[in-house]
Chain A
């Protein structure tokens, strides 16, 4: 596909804003960053891992009604959003969306939203505070197919606009742009290499991943982490690849509504059975399970199901490190494993 040069993300936003709602990261009056409906005339230039929330909520809703039953008939409640665009999703979060796309490939609620979305990536030129995307193959360059369009800044007033999908190409129809030459591609390549070089030492992440895969982490390490896990659900809530949900039924009058909501595998009740038996009743076992799901190569699905899930379940955004009150987020935990 052809890549282009563009003077500003705003030029792009104004064009796609004609047919879609635009969402960008914004700072509110208190300085907090999050996704907001946005006018096309602004480009926030915020990087998505600097916001607490990833983009997963756009597709996998924190809470949503699945169906209702009025005593005679079941009625599904599929969402039907208007077309929209997320402008400025960093590579780590794009990789996570691709991972979720695979997990929720047959989920009509997820897909109803996902089909309406245009993803515009924004490649980071310097490392974020807690990130380690290069070590888990998730950035800083956007992975093939993970976005429709990707913005990469070359100069103050010159950006490389990469087109990764047909949807992306269609979104540019009617916009007259100069094709990008080799010089732009080389500059992008060099800038990404420089960004990778600038990441701080994360050998503890590599060593932790190897320890998990060789099954050489002492049970005492997990048990000690279990004491510090408060089961707050912060890690799983903010993790852009976590996809577990629970359901509950509410009845008012003759109508029953089933709601689903984000669940957390760190809760004791997550796997507790009706008999009260719990295969993961010890907090340390739940912490171990969480990290195995993020880092064990046993969860790669390459052999029978090649696709975006053929990778670690962690995209290196570092949000869990920030939000964990128990000091067992990714950096802390991998250091404990390898100490």
Chain B
């Protein structure tokens, strides 16, 4: 990147598009210039007239030019050989991949194949991915990383409200009287929304933070309910018990719009703030204050994140929050609602597009024959009758020799999924692993074929942000080398397999096809999205301008359901052998597996010297000082890093961000799963922290694995 006019510039252009990082979906403008040397990015600016971000970006957004820099990119297809990856032509890659898929199909059928799509890719790419699985491979084995972020939201809210997405909009933060941030760290992970909360707080909006960690927002909150990890349901039930005991519930709303009140009342009558405190560790008077404030506020909104979903009780945690909002009538109006903060730029869209093993685009169930027939007719193929495997299901099936071929793009499960040792073993065992990526990742290193993917700046399409706003992503640059958009190379493989199901000329043509099959998107076109700065689903004949607030008049399931749920212990509490609980968090400066954010030298410089955050009390007991080298072990493995002593975490709890391949927290995390959604319990597992010699240099994961391999060889 150079200054605006450094080369012999023939034309310049400013392309307004959507930030490729989190689910807030901020607007940014890419400045590009054309010259004899080609088209180049010369700068970025925040989009001033964007409905949410209004001229702002976070540290990740500002670093975008580094994230997609052509210098680091994979530019041709690569084939694994004993001597390392070798560049090959697209024709060779497609032919070999096609042969391998055909062999697996002939020997074991479609159930042995699957697709993991990407919450970073566009709706068009994701629609293509699930259509490839369903109409070309003929399997519902399609999933993506929502499995490990908000699958409990989709499952939980679908049951209670009828729709598994943010009920309200980002702008409601400015209209509400009380914000409850529950198990989320928005100033770090959804920074521009976090900033809206800071602004609202300054203007007098009340703020309650529920989090085991003393987050940035907890420091300025009116109330901080610092609960023990995994006690969400106990806390919410205690809140409900206090609300019912004091008759603070919204009777009219409950009468008119909900069902199941008696059972819920009866269920929570067994607890109260005092009883709850024994499980949650939160002082009863704080719980009573929070119960009063939330139920009595004219408008109160819940924003929640991974601290709710990433538990074996994930789905029930979501149901508990839904119970709370319904009991107080804090839903269906401006400034209210149950609002999951979606992690990735297009995780909402990847779910909407049906990159889930049990639903087609628009959450239309695979289990319903009518729906299967609808898609079979539209796609002119026969489709599989049964729901497919989740991503973790594919891992387990691989280890049981029932699954052989995986096509994956824009995800790095080796770093981001639980129990890294098992994940690596499963990927190793596959007969075919195809990974499409921007740059080399830990997962791509295990692939048979690596395909060069186009970044968000190099293709047209749409992203759907966490408030259900479908926004245009516009091509500003040519892809480097031979990189192609995901829908394009998926189409190439389909054609190799003799299918014309993915024969599209443009992203817009895909959007028109998916809008026709997805009722919640049916009123959308590219022209409409351009005109309105995006549209929020449902957008259809009844709501041509989209829908800012869900459930205003009715729930999609008629009456909302109150469903009693009960406290479930975390799967692996601390014990004598592993005396500390490890939770995971994210840093403002990094994103996911770090494959994009860590390309910025500025963000990389913000990475702390060590990534085990530990309370001063525990540090003292372990004779650790700031930056002491440590070994952190769980039942599944160990990592080495340095200790950062921080009173953000309470005694007994340690935390690690998961972005760093050198010290992957997922070497340690537990793979125990939520029974409904197979969400792993990433937010709590038992660990042991041991000091390494004071002058020791913590080994990276690669060094540890190499040392272990040497030891095995030495035996």
| Residue positions of A touching B, CB distance < 8 A | 21, 23, 26, 28-37, 51-53, 57-65, 79, 81-82, 84, 113, 227-228, 230-234, 237, 246, 248, 250, 252, 261, 263-264, 267-269, 272, 276, 322-327
Contact = CB atoms under 8 A, between A and B. Distances in A.
B566 to A, nearest CB: 37
A268 B43 contact: no
Contacts of A35: 4, 12, 31
Contacts of A326: 195, 198
Given A113-B3, A326-B198, A246 B31 contact: no
Given A29-B16, A261-B602, A322 B48 contact: yes
Contacts of A268: 606
Contacts of B15: 28
Given A79-B2, A227-B219, A232-B57, A62 B45 contact: no
Contact of A28 (B29, B65, B195, B606): B29
A24 to B, nearest CB: 11
Interface of B: 1-9, 11-16, 27, 29, 31, 33, 42-43, 45-49, 54-59, 61-62, 65, 71, 187-188, 191-192, 194-196, 198-199, 202, 216, 219-220, 530, 533, 588-589, 601-602, 605-606, 609, 626-627
A203 to B, nearest CB: 20
Contacts of B196: 325
A231 B62 contact: no
A323 B46 contact: yes
A227 B209 CA distance: 15
A234 B59 CA distance: 8
Contacts of B589: 231
User: Residue among A23, A63, A82, A263 with the most chain B CB within 10 A?
Assistant: A63
What are the nearest 9 A-B pairs in CB distance? A325-B195, A269-B605, A30-B16, A61-B3, A63-B1, A248-B601, A37-B12, A322-B55, A52-B45
A53 B57 CA distance: 13
Contacts of B62: 232-234, 237
A322 B71 CA distance: 33
Contacts of A60: 3
Contacts of B29: 28, 30, 32, 34, 52
A32 B47 contact: yes
Contact of B191 (A237, A264, A325): A325
Given A28-B15, A62-B65, A276-B627, A21 B5 contact: yes
B59 A233 contact: yes
A14 B237 CA distance: 73
Contacts, number: 169
5 contacts: A34-B29, A37-B9, A232-B62, A268-B606, A327-B195
Contact of B606 (A23, A32, A269, A276): A269
Contacts of A230: 58-59, 187-188, 191, 194-195, 588
Contacts of A65: 2
Contacts of A62: 1, 3, 42-43, 65
Contacts of B12: 35-37
Nearest to A322: B55
A269 B45 contact: no
B71 A58 contact: no
User: Residue among B45, B588, B589 with the most chain A CB within 10 A?
Assistant: B45
A291 B27 CA distance: 28
A65 B606 CA distance: 22
Contacts of A30: 16, 27, 29, 47, 49, 530, 533
Given A324-B56, A326-B195, A34 B9 contact: no
Contacts of B220: 227-228
A268 B609 CA distance: 12
Nearest to B216: A227
Nearest to B3: A61
A156 B601 CA distance: 50
Nearest to A263: B602
A48 B5 CA distance: 18
Nearest to B219: A227
A33 B47 CA distance: 9
A140 to B, nearest CB: 21
A96 to B, nearest CB: 16
A81 B35 CA distance: 12
B57 A246 contact: no
B55 A52 contact: yes
A233 B602 contact: yes
Nearest to A266: B59
B713 to A, nearest CB: 31
B159 to A, nearest CB: 35
Contacts of A81: 3, 5-7
B195 A53 contact: no
A53 B43 contact: yes
Contacts of B6: 61, 64, 79, 81, 113
Given A268-B606, A325-B198, 10 more contacts: A31-B49, A32-B45, A61-B2, A81-B3, A232-B588, A237-B62, A248-B601, A323-B46, A323-B57, A327-B198
B601 A261 contact: yes
A57 B43 contact: yes
Contacts of A276: 609, 626-627
Contacts of B71: 250, 252
A190 B551 CA distance: 58
Contacts of A84: 5
A325 B194 contact: yes
A58 B366 CA distance: 55
A241 to B, nearest CB: 17
B202 A327 contact: yes
A310 to B, nearest CB: 27
